[in-house]
Protein backbone atom coordinates (compact mmCIF):
# COMPACT_ATOMS: atom_id res chain seq x y z
CA UNK A 1 0.00 0.00 0.00
CA UNK A 2 1.44 3.35 -1.04
CA UNK A 3 0.42 6.10 1.36
CA UNK A 4 -0.81 9.51 0.21
CA UNK A 5 1.91 12.13 0.43
CA UNK A 6 0.37 13.85 3.45
CA UNK A 7 0.23 10.54 5.38
CA UNK A 8 3.83 9.71 4.50
CA UNK A 9 4.88 12.72 6.58
CA UNK A 10 2.99 11.59 9.66
CA UNK A 11 5.01 10.63 12.76
CA UNK A 12 5.42 6.92 13.39
CA UNK A 13 2.93 7.16 16.27
CA UNK A 14 0.15 7.74 13.71
CA UNK A 15 1.32 5.05 11.34
CA UNK A 16 1.89 2.04 13.59
CA UNK A 17 0.06 0.08 16.30
CA UNK A 18 1.80 -2.18 18.80
CA UNK A 19 0.05 -5.54 19.27
CA UNK A 20 1.09 -7.48 22.39
CA UNK A 21 -0.16 -11.02 22.88
CA UNK A 22 -0.02 -12.54 26.34
CA UNK A 23 -1.45 -15.66 27.96
CA UNK A 24 -1.18 -17.74 31.14
CA UNK A 25 2.39 -17.99 32.38
CA UNK A 26 4.01 -19.52 35.51
CA UNK A 27 5.13 -16.03 36.61
CA UNK A 28 1.53 -14.75 36.86
CA UNK A 29 0.12 -12.75 38.56
CA UNK A 30 3.48 -10.96 38.35
CA UNK A 31 3.79 -8.72 35.28
CA UNK A 32 7.56 -9.19 34.95
CA UNK A 33 7.31 -10.48 31.38
CA UNK A 34 5.27 -7.57 30.02
CA UNK A 35 7.23 -5.11 32.14
CA UNK A 36 10.45 -6.42 30.57
CA UNK A 37 8.96 -5.82 27.12
CA UNK A 38 7.98 -2.23 27.89
CA UNK A 39 11.34 -1.54 29.55
CA UNK A 40 13.14 -2.86 26.47
CA UNK A 41 11.03 -0.55 24.30
CA UNK A 42 12.05 2.40 26.44
CA UNK A 43 15.74 1.52 26.17
CA UNK A 44 15.98 0.29 22.58
CA UNK A 45 12.99 1.67 20.64
CA UNK A 46 11.26 4.46 22.54
CA UNK A 47 9.13 5.45 19.54
CA UNK A 48 7.03 2.33 20.15
CA UNK A 49 5.77 3.79 23.43
CA UNK A 50 4.21 6.71 21.54
CA UNK A 51 2.08 4.39 19.36
CA UNK A 52 -1.34 2.89 19.92
CA UNK A 53 -1.41 -0.40 21.83
CA UNK A 54 -3.67 -3.43 21.53
CA UNK A 55 -3.12 -6.11 24.18
CA UNK A 56 -4.70 -9.52 23.65
CA UNK A 57 -5.16 -11.68 26.77
CA UNK A 58 -5.40 -15.15 25.32
CA UNK A 59 -6.86 -17.55 27.85
CA UNK A 60 -6.86 -21.28 28.57
CA UNK A 61 -9.17 -24.14 27.60
CA UNK A 62 -8.68 -26.64 30.42
CA UNK A 63 -7.59 -26.91 34.06
CA UNK A 64 -5.59 -30.03 34.96
CA UNK A 65 -3.07 -31.11 37.63
CA UNK A 66 -0.18 -30.47 35.23
CA UNK A 67 0.02 -27.36 33.04
CA UNK A 68 0.63 -27.69 29.29
CA UNK A 69 0.48 -24.06 28.29
CA UNK A 70 1.14 -24.53 24.58
CA UNK A 71 -1.91 -26.82 24.51
CA UNK A 72 -4.06 -24.33 26.45
CA UNK A 73 -4.00 -26.30 29.70
CA UNK A 74 -3.25 -24.65 33.08
CA UNK A 75 -3.00 -26.02 36.61
CA UNK A 76 -5.38 -24.80 39.35
CA UNK A 77 -2.93 -22.14 40.57
CA UNK A 78 -2.55 -20.82 37.02
CA UNK A 79 -6.32 -20.55 36.62
CA UNK A 80 -6.66 -18.67 39.91
CA UNK A 81 -3.90 -16.19 39.08
CA UNK A 82 -4.94 -15.36 35.51
CA UNK A 83 -7.70 -12.83 36.30
CA UNK A 84 -5.39 -10.97 38.68
CA UNK A 85 -2.66 -11.14 36.04
CA UNK A 86 -4.93 -9.47 33.47
CA UNK A 87 -5.80 -6.69 35.94
CA UNK A 88 -2.12 -6.14 36.77
CA UNK A 89 -1.12 -5.99 33.09
CA UNK A 90 -3.89 -3.48 32.33
CA UNK A 91 -2.70 -1.25 35.16
CA UNK A 92 0.91 -1.53 33.99
CA UNK A 93 0.15 -0.73 30.33
CA UNK A 94 -2.11 2.20 31.19
CA UNK A 95 0.51 3.59 33.57
CA UNK A 96 3.21 3.37 30.89
CA UNK A 97 1.18 4.40 27.82
CA UNK A 98 -1.84 6.40 29.07
CA UNK A 99 -1.07 7.56 32.63
CA UNK A 100 -4.18 9.77 32.72
CA UNK A 101 -6.49 6.78 32.29
CA UNK A 102 -7.61 4.22 34.84
CA UNK A 103 -9.06 0.74 34.30
CA UNK A 104 -12.36 1.98 35.81
CA UNK A 105 -13.01 4.47 32.99
CA UNK A 106 -12.45 2.23 29.98
CA UNK A 107 -15.11 1.93 27.27
CA UNK A 108 -16.66 -1.52 26.88
CA UNK A 109 -17.17 -3.35 23.61
CA UNK A 110 -16.94 -6.78 22.04
CA UNK A 111 -16.59 -8.90 18.96
CA UNK A 112 -16.00 -12.43 17.81
CA UNK A 113 -13.17 -14.43 16.28
CA UNK A 114 -14.57 -16.86 13.75
CA UNK A 115 -12.64 -19.83 12.39
CA UNK A 116 -13.23 -22.98 10.36
CA UNK A 117 -16.10 -23.40 7.97
CA UNK A 118 -19.03 -21.00 8.02
CA UNK A 119 -22.40 -22.41 8.92
CA UNK A 120 -21.03 -24.27 11.94
CA UNK A 121 -22.59 -22.50 14.91
CA UNK A 122 -19.74 -23.29 17.31
CA UNK A 123 -16.96 -22.01 15.03
CA UNK A 124 -16.39 -18.67 16.72
CA UNK A 125 -15.10 -17.30 20.02
CA UNK A 126 -16.76 -14.21 21.54
CA UNK A 127 -14.45 -11.65 23.09
CA UNK A 128 -14.89 -8.51 25.15
CA UNK A 129 -12.91 -5.32 24.68
CA UNK A 130 -12.06 -2.40 26.91
CA UNK A 131 -10.57 0.75 25.44
CA UNK A 132 -9.46 4.20 26.45
CA UNK A 133 -11.76 6.97 25.20
CA UNK A 134 -9.10 8.19 22.75
CA UNK A 135 -8.49 4.68 21.40
CA UNK A 136 -4.84 4.80 22.44
CA UNK A 137 -5.00 1.50 24.35
CA UNK A 138 -7.31 -1.47 23.73
CA UNK A 139 -7.54 -4.74 25.66
CA UNK A 140 -9.07 -7.87 24.11
CA UNK A 141 -10.26 -10.74 26.34
CA UNK A 142 -11.62 -13.84 24.58
CA UNK A 143 -14.05 -16.18 26.34
CA UNK A 144 -12.07 -19.21 25.12
CA UNK A 145 -8.53 -19.78 23.97
CA UNK A 146 -7.75 -18.28 20.56
CA UNK A 147 -4.14 -19.27 20.00
CA UNK A 148 -1.54 -16.83 18.72
CA UNK A 149 -2.88 -16.74 15.15
CA UNK A 150 -6.46 -15.76 15.95
CA UNK A 151 -5.25 -13.44 18.72
CA UNK A 152 -3.21 -11.48 16.18
CA UNK A 153 -6.03 -11.48 13.63
CA UNK A 154 -8.51 -10.15 16.22
CA UNK A 155 -6.13 -7.29 17.00
CA UNK A 156 -5.43 -6.57 13.32
CA UNK A 157 -9.14 -6.15 12.67
CA UNK A 158 -9.25 -3.42 15.30
CA UNK A 159 -6.12 -1.73 14.00
CA UNK A 160 -6.59 1.66 12.36
CA UNK A 161 -2.96 2.26 11.35
CA UNK A 162 -1.15 1.14 8.19
CA UNK A 163 1.51 -0.82 10.06
CA UNK A 164 1.75 -3.03 13.14
CA UNK A 165 4.49 -4.18 15.47
CA UNK A 166 3.53 -7.68 16.67
CA UNK A 167 5.07 -8.58 20.02
CA UNK A 168 4.87 -11.82 21.99
CA UNK A 169 5.13 -11.35 25.75
CA UNK A 170 8.47 -13.11 26.20
CA UNK A 171 10.76 -11.53 23.56
CA UNK A 172 12.29 -8.28 24.94
CA UNK A 173 14.63 -6.21 22.79
CA UNK A 174 18.34 -6.22 23.57
CA UNK A 175 19.54 -3.91 20.78
CA UNK A 176 18.42 -0.60 19.29
CA UNK A 177 15.79 -0.79 16.54
CA UNK A 178 15.50 2.07 13.98
CA UNK A 179 11.71 2.05 13.90
CA UNK A 180 11.03 5.25 11.96
CA UNK A 181 13.50 4.42 9.13
CA UNK A 182 12.05 0.91 8.88
CA UNK A 183 8.54 2.31 8.54
CA UNK A 184 9.81 4.85 5.99
CA UNK A 185 11.23 2.02 3.88
CA UNK A 186 7.99 0.08 4.08
CA UNK A 187 6.04 3.13 2.92
CA UNK A 188 8.32 3.85 -0.02
CA UNK A 189 8.44 0.22 -1.14
CA UNK A 190 4.67 -0.01 -1.36
CA UNK A 191 4.66 0.45 -5.13
CA UNK A 192 7.90 -1.48 -5.82
CA UNK A 193 6.99 -4.87 -7.31
CA UNK A 194 10.58 -6.15 -7.45
CA UNK A 195 11.63 -5.50 -3.84
CA UNK A 196 8.49 -4.87 -1.76
CA UNK A 197 8.99 -4.65 2.00
CA UNK A 198 5.81 -5.82 3.72
CA UNK A 199 7.18 -7.66 6.75
CA UNK A 200 10.43 -7.20 8.70
CA UNK A 201 11.36 -9.68 11.44
CA UNK A 202 13.68 -8.73 14.30
CA UNK A 203 16.61 -11.20 14.62
CA UNK A 204 16.94 -13.65 17.48
CA UNK A 205 19.97 -15.82 18.27
CA UNK A 206 18.91 -18.59 15.88
CA UNK A 207 18.67 -16.09 13.02
CA UNK A 208 22.17 -14.67 13.28
CA UNK A 209 24.07 -14.87 9.95
CA UNK A 210 20.83 -16.06 8.37
CA UNK A 211 21.83 -15.14 4.80
CA UNK A 212 24.70 -17.66 5.00
CA UNK A 213 22.85 -20.33 6.96
CA UNK A 214 21.62 -23.72 5.80
CA UNK A 215 18.09 -22.26 5.67
CA UNK A 216 19.29 -20.41 2.58
CA UNK A 217 22.47 -22.05 1.25
CA UNK A 218 20.97 -25.50 0.73
CA UNK A 219 18.36 -24.22 -1.74
CA UNK A 220 19.50 -22.77 -5.10
CA UNK A 221 16.41 -20.56 -5.53
CA UNK A 222 16.83 -19.05 -2.06
CA UNK A 223 20.57 -18.49 -2.61
CA UNK A 224 19.83 -16.63 -5.85
CA UNK A 225 17.10 -14.54 -4.24
CA UNK A 226 19.41 -13.60 -1.37
CA UNK A 227 22.21 -12.63 -3.76
CA UNK A 228 19.88 -10.38 -5.76
CA UNK A 229 17.76 -8.89 -2.97
CA UNK A 230 19.99 -8.52 0.11
CA UNK A 231 20.92 -4.85 0.48
CA UNK A 232 20.92 -1.71 2.58
CA UNK A 233 17.89 0.46 1.90
CA UNK A 234 18.48 4.20 2.24
CA UNK A 235 15.66 6.43 3.50
CA UNK A 236 14.95 9.93 2.24
CA UNK A 237 16.81 11.30 5.25
CA UNK A 238 19.89 9.25 4.37
CA UNK A 239 19.59 6.50 7.01
CA UNK A 240 20.86 3.12 5.79
CA UNK A 241 18.88 0.05 6.90
CA UNK A 242 20.34 -3.42 6.14
CA UNK A 243 17.81 -6.12 5.21
CA UNK A 244 18.08 -9.63 3.83
CA UNK A 245 15.17 -11.64 2.41
CA UNK A 246 13.59 -13.97 4.97
CA UNK A 247 12.13 -17.22 3.70
CA UNK A 248 9.62 -17.76 6.46
CA UNK A 249 6.91 -15.92 8.42
CA UNK A 250 7.98 -15.91 12.06
CA UNK A 251 5.81 -15.19 15.11
CA UNK A 252 8.64 -13.52 17.03
CA UNK A 253 8.59 -9.67 17.05
CA UNK A 254 8.10 -8.14 13.63
CA UNK A 255 6.80 -5.09 11.77
CA UNK A 256 4.30 -5.60 8.98
CA UNK A 257 1.81 -3.88 6.73
CA UNK A 258 -1.64 -4.28 8.27
CA UNK A 259 -3.28 -4.71 4.88
CA UNK A 260 -0.69 -7.27 3.75
CA UNK A 261 -1.05 -9.21 7.00
CA UNK A 262 -4.82 -9.53 6.68
CA UNK A 263 -4.84 -10.33 2.96
CA UNK A 264 -1.86 -12.70 2.88
CA UNK A 265 -1.97 -14.50 6.24
CA UNK A 266 -5.72 -14.31 6.96
CA UNK A 267 -7.53 -14.17 3.61
CA UNK A 268 -10.41 -16.36 4.87
CA UNK A 269 -11.77 -17.69 8.15
CA UNK A 270 -10.30 -21.13 7.46
CA UNK A 271 -6.75 -19.79 7.05
CA UNK A 272 -5.71 -20.83 10.53
CA UNK A 273 -7.39 -23.08 13.11
CA UNK A 274 -8.18 -22.04 16.66
CA UNK A 275 -5.20 -22.59 18.96
CA UNK A 276 -2.59 -22.50 16.19
CA UNK A 277 0.57 -20.45 15.74
CA UNK A 278 1.14 -18.60 12.47
CA UNK A 279 4.66 -19.92 11.96
CA UNK A 280 3.53 -23.54 12.44
CA UNK A 281 0.89 -23.23 9.72
CA UNK A 282 1.16 -20.20 7.43
CA UNK A 283 4.93 -19.98 7.97
CA UNK A 284 5.52 -23.45 6.57
CA UNK A 285 3.24 -22.76 3.60
CA UNK A 286 5.05 -19.50 2.89
CA UNK A 287 8.47 -21.16 2.98
CA UNK A 288 7.37 -23.90 0.58
CA UNK A 289 6.10 -21.29 -1.87
CA UNK A 290 9.27 -19.22 -1.56
CA UNK A 291 11.41 -22.27 -2.32
CA UNK A 292 9.60 -22.28 -5.67
CA UNK A 293 10.45 -18.61 -6.25
CA UNK A 294 7.28 -16.91 -4.96
CA UNK A 295 9.12 -14.68 -2.49
CA UNK A 296 7.55 -11.35 -3.58
CA UNK A 297 4.12 -12.75 -2.73
CA UNK A 298 5.17 -12.69 0.93
CA UNK A 299 7.70 -9.82 0.79
CA UNK A 300 9.30 -10.91 4.06
CA UNK A 301 12.64 -9.54 5.28
CA UNK A 302 14.98 -9.87 8.23
CA UNK A 303 16.57 -6.82 9.84
CA UNK A 304 20.28 -7.54 9.34
CA UNK A 305 22.60 -5.18 11.27
CA UNK A 306 26.35 -5.88 11.29
CA UNK A 307 25.93 -8.42 8.49
CA UNK A 308 23.66 -10.53 10.66
CA UNK A 309 25.97 -10.68 13.67
CA UNK A 310 24.01 -8.39 16.01
CA UNK A 311 21.48 -9.98 18.36
CA UNK A 312 18.31 -7.91 18.84
CA UNK A 313 16.03 -10.17 20.91
CA UNK A 314 16.22 -12.28 24.06
CA UNK A 315 13.81 -15.15 24.71
CA UNK A 316 12.47 -15.48 28.26
CA UNK A 317 10.26 -18.48 27.40
CA UNK A 318 6.93 -17.51 28.91
CA UNK A 319 5.79 -21.15 29.22
CA UNK A 320 8.48 -21.82 31.86
CA UNK A 321 9.50 -18.38 33.16
CA UNK A 322 8.70 -18.07 36.87
CA UNK A 323 10.00 -14.56 37.46
CA UNK A 324 13.50 -13.16 37.95
CA UNK A 325 13.66 -14.12 41.63
CA UNK A 326 12.61 -17.72 41.10
CA UNK A 327 14.86 -18.05 38.04
CA UNK A 328 17.83 -16.83 40.13
CA UNK A 329 16.99 -19.37 42.82
CA UNK A 330 16.86 -22.19 40.26
CA UNK A 331 20.18 -21.06 38.77
CA UNK A 332 21.81 -20.97 42.22
CA UNK A 333 20.44 -24.45 43.03
CA UNK A 334 21.70 -25.77 39.70
CA UNK A 335 25.18 -24.32 40.33
CA UNK A 336 25.22 -25.79 43.84
CA UNK A 337 24.28 -29.25 42.53
CA UNK A 338 27.01 -29.06 39.90
CA UNK A 339 29.57 -28.01 42.50
CA UNK A 340 28.50 -30.88 44.76
CA UNK A 341 28.80 -33.36 41.90
CA UNK A 342 32.28 -32.06 41.07
CA UNK A 343 33.41 -32.52 44.68
CA UNK A 344 31.92 -36.04 44.74
CA UNK A 345 33.70 -36.96 41.51
CA UNK A 346 37.03 -35.67 42.91
CA UNK A 347 36.52 -37.67 46.12
CA UNK A 348 35.74 -40.83 44.16
CA UNK A 349 38.75 -40.31 41.94
CA UNK A 350 41.01 -39.84 44.96
CA UNK A 351 39.67 -42.94 46.73
CA UNK A 352 40.09 -45.13 43.64
CA UNK A 353 43.67 -43.95 43.04
CA UNK A 354 45.30 -43.97 46.50
CA UNK A 355 48.99 -43.15 46.66
Q: Which CATH number do you get for residue 260?
A: 3.90.550
State CA 190 to chain mean position distance.
Answer: 23
The mean pLDDT of 136-144, rounded to a whole number, is 97
* pLDDT of res. 158: 98
Does some domain include residue 156? Answer: yes
Please say if the pLDDT value at position 157 is more than 70: yes
**Could you give the angle at the alpha carbon of 322 between the alpha carbons of 318 and 328, nearest 5°?**
120
* pLDDT of res. 134: 94
Does some domain include residue 276? Answer: yes
Q: What's the rounded Cα separation, in Å, for the pair 161 and 261?
A: 12
* pLDDT of res. 329: 54
pLDDT, tens digit (0-9, with 9 covering 90-100), for 193-235: 789 999 999 999 999 999 999 999 999 999 999 999 999 999 9
Please, which residues have CB within 8 angstroms of residue 140's CB and are 6 or more apart in sequence?
54, 55, 56, 57, 127, 128, 129, 151, 154, 155, 158
Q: What's the rounded Cα separation, in Å, for the pair 85 and 60?
A: 13
The mean pLDDT of 257-261, rounded to a whole number, is 97
The mean pLDDT of 137-164, rounded to a whole number, is 98
* pLDDT of res. 144: 96
Does some domain include residue 338? Answer: no
Please say if the pLDDT value at position 95 is more than 80: yes
Does some domain include residue 249? Answer: yes
Does some domain include residue 314? Answer: no
Q: What's the rounded Cα separation, in Å, for the pair 157 and 222?
A: 33
SS3 179: helix
Q: What's the rounded Cα separation, in Å, for the pair 265 and 245?
A: 18
Does some domain include residue 144? Answer: yes
Q: What's the rounded Cα separation, in Å, for the pair 156 and 272?
A: 15
Domain that residue 175 falls in: 10-308
The mean pLDDT of 312-333, rounded to a whole number, is 72
DSSP 262: I
Q: How far apart are the first and last CA of the chain?
A: 80
Does some domain include residue 336? Answer: no
**String of b and e for 81-98 (b: at least 16 CB within 10 Å)?**
bbeebbebbbeebbebbb
* pLDDT of res. 8: 60
Q: What's the rounded Cα separation, in Å, for the pair 62 and 275?
A: 13
- CB 253, CB 171: distance < 8 Å: yes
pLDDT bucket at 301, cuts 50 / 70 / 90: very high
Q: Which of 268, 232, 234, 257 shows the shortest CA–CA distance to 156?
A: 257
Does some domain include residue 111? Answer: yes
Helix or strand (DSSP H, E) at 32:
helix 32-44
Question: How many domains does the chain contain in total?
Answer: 1
* pLDDT of res. 318: 81
pLDDT bucket at 1, cuts 50 / 70 / 90: very low
**Phi and psi, residue 331, nearest 5°:** -65, -45
Provide the mean pLDDT of the chain: 91
Please say if the pLDDT value at position 327 is more than 80: no
Please say if the pLDDT value at position 31 is more than 80: yes
**Most distant CA pair in the chain, distance:** 86
pTM beyond cutoff 0.75: yes
Q: Which of 143, 73, 77 shows the shortest CA–CA distance to 113?
A: 143
The mean pLDDT of 146-158, rounded to a whole number, is 98
Amino acid sequence: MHLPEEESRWPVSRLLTVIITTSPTPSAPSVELVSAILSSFRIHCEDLLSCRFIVVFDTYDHVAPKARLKKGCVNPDGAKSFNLYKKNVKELVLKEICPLHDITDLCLGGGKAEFGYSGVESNFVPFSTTQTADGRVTFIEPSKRLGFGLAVRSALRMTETCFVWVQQHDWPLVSDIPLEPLVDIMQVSGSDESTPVKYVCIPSVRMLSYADSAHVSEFPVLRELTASLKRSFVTGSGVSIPLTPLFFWHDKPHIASTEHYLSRVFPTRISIPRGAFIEDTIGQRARNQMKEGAWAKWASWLYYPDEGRRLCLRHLCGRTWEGAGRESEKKAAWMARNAERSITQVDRSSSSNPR
